[in-house]
Structure 1
Amino acid sequence: MNKYFQLLVKNVKKQLETWLNEKEVIQHKEVYRFLHSIAGTASTIGFTVAGDMARKLMGQLNLDEEREWKKEDLQSFLLPLISIIYYEEYSNIDEIIERKSEYEDKKLILLIDDDTALLMYLKEKLEENDWIVIAVADPDRAINSYYDLNPSCVIIDIHMKDKNGLDVLLQLKEKMKQQFIPTIMISNDQSKELRIKSYKLGTDDFIHKPIDIEEFVVRINRQLERKQAIDNVMLIDELTRVYNRKFLPQTYDRFVSSLNRRRQPFCMALLDLDHFKNVNDTYGHIVGDEVLATFADTVRKGLRINDIIIRYGGEEFIILLPETKTREAKLVLERILKEFSNIPFEANDEEFYCSFSSGIHEVQSNETDLKKNIEIADAALYEAKQAGRNQIKVAAVHNLEIKKKPIHVGIVDDDPIIRTMLEDLISKSKIMDDFTVDIQTFKDGMEFIEADWHLKNNEQFLIILDGMMPRMDGLEVLQKLRALPYQERFTVMMLTSRKSEHDITRALKLGADDYITKPFKLLELETRLGHLIKRMK
């Protein structure tokens, strides 16, 4: 980026910041002169695409018009120009298009270590290999992140101040047996006794410090290749012993073929355990796994011989019922629901019971798209949950309104260009297809806190926080969020500077779920946010 381009970007940012942060209304002639200046300057320095867009926007205006712009209207009007300037500064558009599939296929590594300096170093080095690395400094938070993120590999430092890495490994051991996710232990201690103990507890590799990055990368890649090979041949979910989602497309196609050839109806049901997160939070994930396994076993035994049960993800299951109308499918699931809700579970010297909700949809010959039919069944499931859970609802195919889960996104950054671009990115991103999205932007931390927007309901929030802002910076906001009694509602992504290692350290210790350094590629940020959203139920 040459110095003239940098100067143009700086001037544009300064003007936008003045308009969008400090003024309630902007005079029309100011806007026209702004566009006129960019049109001339951008073309002169070779930034033709910005110059052309500025001229195009000017063509929509009349210089002599008497008008005052509201900042929201101006932001919307200037968005095409802002987009061009932002993309040019932060990334190369052609490169983004070429690399899109690469970002979508990136492996996710969970890195657990309370040494934040090492965390940052390893995160930076490993991400040079096209992996997404979630770095977590709090071991207890890391355990929860493991369950939520379902990483491709876990790396644990044995020696941490508040918790021994072997204790973390032990807590994950049962889960790792049921789903192959390779683990690598790192340690200063090279003793044979420690290595043997680590292997006995289930680690897949042991690497001593100081770490040779080149060798480290090779050994991680070896574990990822092993996992891929195992995943490719496994169609059975190891925890629940039912089919996994890889089995769904081929089975669904077989049912559709039968529907088209012999006009045999079939039903799809989406099942979701009620308040399952509360079970994990109250009794622990091992008890949660017991509930999942018992649930799957109960459903499997309650189905008919040709019915298919598939673990779709987390606590969600899909059932395909061949040669079945909705009335019959509902009777089958109501019988299973009655049986499962009467099964007692025990933990912490107390007894508790669980239930599930379900949405049923009879697949029609004029709409056989798998994704669409899952959405219809999910809409009926949502209706069951809204009606109080512990029940079965049948999708009304005609006049159906597909309801999606709500998610609130807060963008807190003093740079109006970044706020605008992130709002545009998230509002159009496919990662939000399964949600109804409420996006709010704030020019600094104080405005965010004083708005009380994040306190007005008990739904899920994704907060994107800039580290450095006037009045109240992102770290202060993060600290306030994590001090709330219901802080688990907030998933936080920090935007930081490469020079702000101290801020990154504090952010990790305060409980940031991930961070990305500026400048960043928008597609990479979108990919990271996609992984974080997986945990937001």
Structure 2
Amino acid sequence: MEKYTNHFFNNIRKKLEEWEVAETITHQEVYRFVHSLAGSASILGLHKIGESAKGLMDSMDETEEREWSMNDINHELYDIIEYCYLYEGDALKSKAVEGKQKRQGDEPVVLIIDDDTTFLMFMKDRLESMGWYVVPVANPEKAIMSYYDVRPDCAIIDVYMNETNGFEVLDFFKKKMKQQFIPTVMVSVDDSKEIRMKSYSMGADDFIQKPFDFDEFVVRVRRQLERKKQIEELVLIDELTHVYNRKYLAEAYAQIKFDWERSKNPYCVAVLDIDHFKKVNDQYGHLMGDQVLKSFASLLKEETRVQDIVFRYGGEEFIILFPNTPLKDAYGYLNALRESFSHQVFTEDESFTCTFSAGLTEISDVNKPFEDWLKVADTALYEAKNSGRNCVKIDSNISGNQHLKMIKVAIVDDDPIIRTIMTDIVSKLPREESVEYDIHTFKDGVSFLESQWHQESACLVILDGVMPRMDGLEVLEQLRKKKDTDRYKVLMLTSRKSEKDISRSLQLGADDYMTKPFKLLELEARLGQLLKRMR
């Protein structure tokens, strides 16, 4: 039976490969293919495929005059292709992703820097099973860039690594991130007094000797994560509204400058002011005024995106930074917030509502002081106040040109079923209106490397480890030799059971990895994390 099942799947692959290079496919050919699947699948015990094919066949008119595109195939036959992947990988139950919830984007992000790839793989597997998101880095030089790129909640650094040592990495982190507290934990097999004292004197927040008890390690790292949260609340968080205070503006702008110099993506800043707030205090009292401020801040936190940063600048004035956001999108977000806040009802003897006005500008030159951009946004706010309040005004000096962020996604895999699955998942990932995904598939590594399509743009590469003509690890090695290698984020896929291949991919600088057969929701979460780092 296994021989016939393999033949069945190989026929599907062959047909998908034929269709990928065809300009159009006749309706009759698609109908015959679906008819064949409906008859063969159930005989082989592949009932889900058979039922799905039968349902599609019953909805089709064999005599219809229609030309199909590959996009049509991907859309209308996707359930069948997905079942093929799940059956063949012996992972049908994984569609429900048992025992693991889809990531929500607010899980702790832990950066682990160690040239021992076995340690990296073990820690990644164990910590991610708890719901944390782990970024493993085997190259200390890449770790420095990852620190900015990932924005971790905690960094785990090994003391001894090839060609450098963890103290150099620790020193860089502490010097560059003085205004933002990110705890660092040093780990080492060397538990000598000298090493421990040097770790603490250079600013490490903890030192843990290898080998360690995993449960104790988790408790100590979790304590650092909680400590980070408490410090942020005490130093950088406004006591009343629980959003960032103005002390954090300098650090946030420094991060914008770093991102902008790499990506040149648009950033926007808005100044918001609650209309007639003095009347609220005078008529209903300062306690009610505080309640309005807290409710307003809560709405801003809840209804902005994860990457947006909300500050209380003073009194009833707030600031929102919109990273990687064109002016048109930021304007739409602000208007939605304005509309939502205007419907909030407050009650103190009598019911009342409040509104806010906002001024918005796009940061086009990060070399200018942030105060300059605040003045521009504040001028737009003044215009909004003079226009009757409860509105959003854009800096009048900004041209109408809008930026559109294009992220290229290369799917490099010799299996057409995997290519189809990947294309569908990426195309359906959440995105801002200003972001477009340009998805391109490649059957092998050679055709990908020779392509001019990805030569001048940021590109996410989903790279299979085992392919004809050129191994995926060879492709990764070629990418990391490029002068502009930072343009590429690489997710390695491997079906090999040997950990040697995963180890090598980490050494070569893969940004993440997954082992086939992978869970589709987990794949979606990993892709979402990588794309978020590219926006």
TM-score norm. by structure 1 comes to 0.69
Question: What is the identity, as a one-letter code, of the residue corresponding to 1:255?
Answer: I
1:531 maps to: 529
- Do the aligned partners of 2:112 and 2:156 also contact (CA within 8 Å) in 1? yes
1:518 matched to 2:516? The reply is: yes
1:147 matched to 2:166? The reply is: no
1:128 and 1:18, CA in 2 relative to 1: closer, same or farther beyond 3 A?
A: same
1:32 maps to: 31
Shift of 1:410: 1.1
Question: What is the identity, as a one-letter code, of the residue corresponding to 1:484?
Answer: K
- Do the aligned partners of 1:91 and 1:520 also contact (CA within 8 Å) in 2? no
- Do the aligned partners of 1:179 and 1:239 also contact (CA within 8 Å) in 2? no
1:159 maps to: 160
CA distance in 1, matches of 2:465, 2:503: 11
Aligned ranges 1:42-441 → 2 under 5 Å: 42-43=41-42, 48-63=47-62, 73-86=72-85, 90=91, 92=93, 95-96=96-97, 100=101, 102-231=103-232, 234-235=236-237, 240-242=247-249, 255=274, 307-310=317-320, 341=368, 393=398, 403-431=403-431, 434-441=434-441
Shift of 1:529: 2.6
- Do the aligned partners of 1:409 and 1:439 also contact (CA within 8 Å) in 2? yes
Q: Secondary structure at the match of 1:83?
A: helix
Shift of 1:536: 2.2
Instruction: Note the alpha carbon deviations across 1:101-142, whole angstroms, 9 max, x for none.
Output: 555333221110112222222222222222221111111111
CA distance in 2, matches of 1:109, 1:528: 14
CA distance in 2, matches of 1:206, 1:8: 56
- Do the aligned partners of 1:112 and 1:139 also contact (CA within 8 Å) in 2? yes
**Mean Cα displacement is larger for which, 499-508 or 233-242?**
233-242
Instruction: Note the alpha carbon deviations across 1:471-520, whole angstroms, 9 max, x for none.
Output: 12322222222222222211111112351422222222222222122222
Instruction: Note the alpha carbon deviations across 1:451-479, whole angstroms, 9 max, x for none.
Output: 22112x3x321111111111123222222
CA distance in 2, matches of 1:467, 1:223: 36
1:294 maps to: none
2:461 maps to: 463
CA distance in 1, matches of 2:366, 2:493: 49
Q: Secondary structure at the match of 1:454?
A: coil
Question: What is the identity, as a one-letter code, of the residue corresponding to 1:421?
Answer: I
**Mean Cα displacement is larger for which, 192-201 or 70-79?**
70-79
1:510 and 1:13, CA in 2 relative to 1: closer, same or farther beyond 3 A?
A: farther
CA distance in 2, matches of 1:86, 1:51: 14
Question: What is the identity, as a one-letter code, of the residue corresponding to 1:521?
Answer: K
CA distance in 2, matches of 1:63, 1:315: 48
1:494 maps to: 492
Structure 2 gap ranges (5+): 239-243, 253-269, 281-310, 339-353
Instruction: Note the alpha carbon deviations across 1:62-114, whole angstroms, 9 max, x for none.
Output: 54679886655544442232234445655647734995555533322111011
1:248 maps to: none
TM-score norm. by structure 2 comes to 0.69
CA distance in 1, matches of 2:116, 2:132: 21
- Do the aligned partners of 1:466 and 1:495 also contact (CA within 8 Å) in 2? yes
1:490 and 1:30, CA in 2 relative to 1: closer, same or farther beyond 3 A?
A: same
Instruction: Note the alpha carbon deviations across 1:414-465, whole angstroms, 9 max, x for none.
Output: 111211121111111114655122111111112212322112x3x3211111
Q: Secondary structure at the match of 1:104?
A: coil
**Mean Cα displacement is larger for which, 429-438 or 112-121?**
429-438
2:261 maps to: none
Question: What is the identity, as a one-letter code, of the residue corresponding to 1:124?
Answer: D
Question: What is the identity, as a one-letter code, of the residue corresponding to 2:407?
Answer: I
Question: What is the identity, as a one-letter code, of the residue corresponding to 1:160?
Answer: M
Question: What is the identity, as a one-letter code, of the residue corresponding to 1:241?
Answer: Y
CA distance in 1, matches of 2:503, 2:364: 48
Shift of 1:315: 12
Instruction: Note the alpha carbon deviations across 1:351-404, whole angstroms, 9 max, x for none.
Output: xxx999988685999999xxxx9xx99xx7xxx9xxxxxx9527x7xxxx9753
2:473 maps to: 475
Q: Number of paired residues?
A: 455
2:502 maps to: 504
CA distance in 2, matches of 1:256, 1:7: 68
Shift of 1:190: 0.7
Shift of 1:167: 1.0
How much is the aligned-residue C-alpha RMSD, in angstroms? 5.0
Q: Secondary structure at the match of 2:463?
A: strand
CA distance in 1, matches of 2:189, 2:209: 6
Question: What is the identity, as a one-letter code, of the residue corresponding to 2:117?
Answer: T
1:449 matched to 2:474? The reply is: no
CA distance in 2, matches of 1:184, 1:213: 14
CA distance in 2, matches of 1:475, 1:358: 49
1:367 and 1:415, CA in 2 relative to 1: closer, same or farther beyond 3 A?
A: farther
1:72 and 1:524, CA in 2 relative to 1: closer, same or farther beyond 3 A?
A: closer
CA distance in 2, matches of 1:173, 1:61: 64
**Mean Cα displacement is larger for which, 23-32 or 509-518?**
23-32
- Do the aligned partners of 1:412 and 1:445 also contact (CA within 8 Å) in 2? yes
Q: Secondary structure at the match of 1:418?
A: helix
Question: What is the identity, as a one-letter code, of the residue corresponding to 2:181?
Answer: F
CA distance in 1, matches of 2:145, 2:366: 30
1:244 and 1:209, CA in 2 relative to 1: closer, same or farther beyond 3 A?
A: closer
- Do the aligned partners of 1:143 and 1:172 also contact (CA within 8 Å) in 2? yes
- Do the aligned partners of 1:187 and 1:209 also contact (CA within 8 Å) in 2? yes
